[in-house]
Amino acid sequence: MDTLGLLLQGFGVALQPVNLMWALVGSVLGTAIGILPGIGPALTIALLLPVTTALAPTSAFIMFAGILYGAMYGGSTTSILLNTPGEAGSMMTALEGNKMARAGRGAAALATAAIGSFVAGTFATLALTFAAPFVAELAFYFKPTDYFAITALAFCSVAVVMGASRTRGFISLFLGIAIGVIGIDAMTGQPRLTFGNMQLLRGIALTVVLVSLFAVGEILYVASRYRSVPGVMAPVKGKLWMTREDFARSWKPWLRGTAIGFPMGALPGSGSEIPTMLSYTLERKLSKHPEQFGKGAIEGVAGPEATNNAAAAGILVPLLTLGLPTSATAAVLLAAFQNYGLQPGPFLFTSNPALIWGLIASLYVGNVMLLVLNLPLVGIWVQLLRIPRPQLYAGILVFAMIGVWGLAGSWVDLAIMFVVGLAGYVMRVYDFPIAPVLIGLILGPMAENQLRTALAAGQGNPMVLVSTPLSAILLTIAVLLLALPIFLKRLRAHA
Amino acid sequence: MSNNGNPTPNTLEGGSHQAAPAPSRPYWIGIGLMVIGAVWLVNAYGLPQGARYAAVGPGLFVTISGAALLVLGAVLVLQIWRGESFQPQDAEDAVADAKMDKRAFLTALVAVAVPVATMGPLGMPFTATLSFVLVANAFGSRRWWLDLICGAILACASWFLFSQLGLQLGRFFPPLGF
């Protein structure tokens, strides 16, 4: 069946009343967490992982997708009105958006952000619709050596690109890999690093590490440096709709943002920070009003916001087609698939088309819901910011401990939450990137498995790792990623 | 509201220099990483590095991660010695370059530690309420009785809701046997 036929079938699944309801729940939750501080899409999905025991997989993933997209919409609201970007991808939006809000054009800034998110979300989902089956088709031919090369490249790019320095990026990555080897070795049944503790035999769950690093680490960090005086919120002023000129200045940045965000979101490690910065710089260069940048240029909101949403769709391509997570949120989504005993990858497209295509179709539906939720109702959403911070952070800890305790009812998990949470605090104080820990934790065992399978097939000959053209190219790129900055630095020093 | 968000730098520590956001030479992080790396390497020593059919055994990745952390820890120590700077990350509701509020931090830390001891014997609703009150206090709330009520309602409601969803959260209050 062709892609359009499969997509139509997907709409048949996504438009079922029960799935529509879950899409709405996800969109509402996503928008709310995008606005609230301290929680992001990765943490929310991790805390909701227990619902996988009660929900059908299609419904659960439709809700998770709503959360992923919704968080991108909600993040722009606080950036524009409060100048507090909740996540890295909203930093550029805050730069121009808050200036617009202070100049009495908050409504136009919110509108270009919401419509830009809708345009980018829809076009990026369209790209996902056609790119994903193509990549999945290719992935059928991938061998374990290719998969090992892909994970090796993902490791290098994540560690090099994320964070303040390569050393700190690699430290985070190897901490994740080191946590990932704890527990019974899947291939030989040998216990590793369990220190005689029976409960460590099953390894350390991704949820425990994620909840501890993101929620507990954040609570400890914010408590230690709490800004008890709340930020000044700019009122939503101006016409609720954009003017003709606003539209004329926004539509090109929306499309350019989509073109930048989607492919970069699919690459490991680029996250949403780099593409949004790229979009901002590009818009400033191309704008007919460069003098307005830094004072409230609408292009500076439209471009990065579109980029941000397109990148969120981009991460789904490697996740669904190769089972490769490129961001923290994607890593949690992979864990959700594993909870159902499903492995994303080319075989999922043939074995469970209703799930994959229902999920993709729900992204279109979710985008429409989010536009409706965000454009006219923004005044209601900002009321969420009135929740007092002490009770909000206390509530986040309650949900974090429920998520950890509910996994296995084990005090060992709670002790790990304490230790890893403390580590999360230290990482924030000394600026170590957090996402590489999760990528290392989830991709480490995958890389190990593929490496051992590839070497077993090649009877132990390490040359098997570069025996296919793809693996050779990918490993070369990985080495270049590591070596190039050092080489360039030396070249500059000699110049 | 507490007064811990005061942006004026407090230079009790730090001598005549400007108030640094973090100690400038955190050698202990590098050393800590080297210790973790060493523990992993020692454990890897007891594991087979090779296997009969595959060239790689269960010890290889333990060795790689241990060795990498050992080397990276040493590199970090060297970088710190050469004057590497560490800038705290930005977060909503936090002032990155503010001085650390030790009382608030320790109160929140106790809130995270409490569940290890009380979750099993006293149950999830009691533990969650206690942690709720402690975190709210760390964030400057002084109306503990209100936090107690809010925390208890949230803890009981989520215990009930998540138990209904099929999550095993244990008994409501084990000392009383229900």
**Who among A171, A177, A225 is closest to B100 (CB)?**
A225
pLDDT at residue A327 tops 50: yes
Q: What is the pLDDT of residue A238?
A: 61
Residue A81 · residue A100 · CB < 8 Å: no
Q: According to the model, what pLDDT value does residue A462 have? A: 86
pLDDT at B135 > cutoff 90: yes
The answer to whether A176 touches A444, Cβ cutoff 8 Å, is yes
CB contact under 8 A, B58 and A37: no
Q: How confident is the model at residue B1 (pLDDT cuts 50, 70, 90)?
A: very low
The reported pLDDT for the residue numbered B8 is 33
pLDDT at A239: 59
Tokens of A333: 């989504």
Report the residue of B61, B132, B153 to disrupt the A interface, i.e. the one with the largest count of A CBs within 10 Å.
B61
B43 touches chain A (CB under 8 A): yes
pLDDT higher than threshold 80 for residue A103 = yes
CA distance B95 to chain A (A): 6
| Cross-chain residue pair A187–B58, CB shorter than 8 Å | yes
By mean pLDDT, which of A116-120, A329-333, A406-410, A486-490 is the weakest?
A486-490
CA gap A182, A191 in Å, rounded = 8
Of B33, B104, B128, the CB nearest to A226: B104
Min Cα–Cα distance to chain B from A253, Å: 27
pLDDT at A286 over 70: yes
Alpha-carbon span A50 to B99, nearest angstrom? 38
What's the rounded mean pLDDT across residues A10-18? 94
Taking an 8 Å cut-off on Cβ atoms, the answer to whether B119 and A167 are in contact is: no
**Is residue B134 scored above 50 in pLDDT?**
yes
How many residue pairs bridge chain A and chain B with CB atoms within 8 Å of each other? 257
The reported pLDDT for the residue numbered B13 is 34
Does B51 lie at the interface with A, CB-CB under 8 angstroms?
yes
Model confidence band, residue B18 (pLDDT cutoffs 50, 70, 90): very low
pLDDT at A95: 86
Per the CB < 8 Å rule, is B108 touching A223? yes
Would an 8 Å CB–CB cutoff place B8 in contact with chain A? no
* Cα A215 to Cα A228: distance, rounded to the nearest angstrom: 19
Closest CA to A370 of A309, A416, A320, A422: A309
A16-A20-A25 Cα angle (round to 5): 150
CB A363 within 8 A of CB B116: no
Is the pLDDT at B4 greater than 50, yes or no?
no
Closest to A209 measured CA to CA, from A439, A398, A52 = A439
**d(C-alpha A198, C-alpha A196), whole Å:** 6
- Residue A378 confidence (pLDDT): 81
- Output the pTM of the full model: 0.89
Q: What is the pLDDT of residues B143-167, one digit of tens each?
A: 999 999 999 999 999 999 888 877 8
Q: Is B57 on the interface with A (CB under 8 A)?
A: yes
Q: Does the pLDDT value for residue A160 go beyond 90?
A: no
| pLDDT for the residue numbered A230 | 65
Taking the C-alpha atoms of residue A65 and residue A63, their distance in angstroms, rounded to an integer, is 5
The more confident residue out of A87 and A430 is A430
- Residues of chain A positioned with their CB less than 8 A from the CB of B133: 394
The answer to whether the Cβ–Cβ distance between B69 and A174 falls below 8 Å is yes
Distance CA A237, CA A89 (A): 24
Supply the mean pLDDT for chain B: 85
- Categorise residue B93: left if φ over 0, alpha if ψ from -120 to 50, beta otherwise: left
- Answer whether B154 touches A (CB < 8 Å): yes
CB A309 within 8 A of CB A69: yes
User: What would the two tokens of residue B81 be?
Assistant: 């010695």
Q: For the segment A52-67, what is each residue's pLDDT rounded down to a tens digit?
A: 778 899 999 999 999 9
Higher pLDDT, residue A465 or B15: A465
Please list the alpha-helical segments (H only) found in A375-410.
378-381, 389-408
Chain B residue with the nearest C-alpha to that of A196? B43
Q: Is the pLDDT of residue A282 over 50?
A: yes
Nearest-by-Cβ selection for A221 from B69, B91, B158: B91
- pLDDT at A344 > cutoff 60: yes
SS (H, E, C) A190-225: CEECCCCCHHHHHCCCHHHHHHHHHHHHHHHHHHHC
Cβ–Cβ gap A411/B116 under 8 Å: yes
The per-residue b/e assignment along A219-255, b for 16 or more CB within 10 angstroms, e otherwise, is bbbbbbbbbbeeeebbebebeeebeeebbebbbebbb
Closest Cα in chain A, distance from residue B1 (Å): 7
pLDDT at B51: 62
Q: Is B77 on the interface with A (CB under 8 A)?
A: no
CA A435 to chain B, closest CA, distance in angstroms equals: 14
pLDDT digits (tens, 9 = 90+) for B26-76: 999 999 999 999 999 999 988 887 766 556 788 999 999 999 999 999 999
- Tell whether the torsion through CA atoms of B74, B76, B80 and B83 is positive or negative: positive
pLDDT at position A381? 84
- Residue A184: enclosing H or E segment and its boundaries? strand A183-184
Cross-chain residue pair B29–A426, CB shorter than 8 Å: yes
Question: Nearest CA to CA, how far is B54 from chain A (Å)?
Answer: 4
Interchain contact, B139 vs A393, CB within 8 Å: yes
| Lowest model confidence (mean pLDDT) among A25-34, A224-233, A295-304, A381-390 | A224-233
- Rg of chain A, C-alpha, whole Å: 22
B17 has a pLDDT exceeding 60: no
Q: How far is A214 from chain B (nearest CA, A)?
A: 12
Pick from A226, A395, A428: CB nearest B140: A226
pLDDT at B6 over 60: no
- Looking at residue B14, its pLDDT comes to 35
Structure tokens at A123: 């076009």
- As a whole number, the mean pLDDT across chain A is 89
**In this predicted model, what pLDDT tens digit does every residue of A434-462 receive, in sequence order?**
889 998 998 999 999 999 889 888 888 88
Summarised one tens digit per residue, pLDDT across range A370-387 is: 999 888 888 888 888 888
CB contact under 8 A, A224 and B113: no
* Inter-chain touch A405–B170, beta carbons under 8 Å: yes
Paired with A408 in beta bridges are none
ipTM reported for the complex, 2 dp: 0.88
Across the interface, whether the CB atoms of A177 and B98 are under 8 A apart is answered: no
Could you tell me which residue, A112 or A380, shows the higher pLDDT?
Answer: A112
3-class state of residue A183 by DSSP: strand
Confidence (pLDDT) at B5: 34
Using CA atoms, how far apart are residues A195 and B39, in angstroms rounded to an integer?
11
Is the CB of residue B40 less than 8 Å away from at least one CB of chain A?
yes
Interchain contact, A397 vs B131, CB within 8 Å: yes
Kindly determine whether residue B22 and residue A429, on different chains, have CB atoms separated by under 8 Å: yes
Say yes or no: B61 contacts chain A, CB-CB below 8 A. Answer: yes
Task: Please answer yes or no on whether B167 and A422 come within 8 Å at the CB atom.
Answer: no
By the CB < 8 Å criterion, does B155 face chain A? yes
User: What are the chain B neighbours of A431 within 8 Å (beta carbons)?
Assistant: 86-89
Distance CA A21, CA A27 (A): 10
Q: Given a cut of 80, is residue B9 above it in pLDDT?
A: no
Residue A228 is nearest to which of B140, B147, B169, comparing CB atoms?
B140
Chain A hits for B89, Cβ within 8 Å? 221, 428-429, 431
Residues of B in contact with A50 (CB under 8 A): 162, 165-167
What is residue B10's predicted lDDT score, i.e. its pLDDT? 35
Find the mean pLDDT for residues B91-109.
Answer: 90
- C-alpha angle B118/B121/B124, rounded to 5°? 60
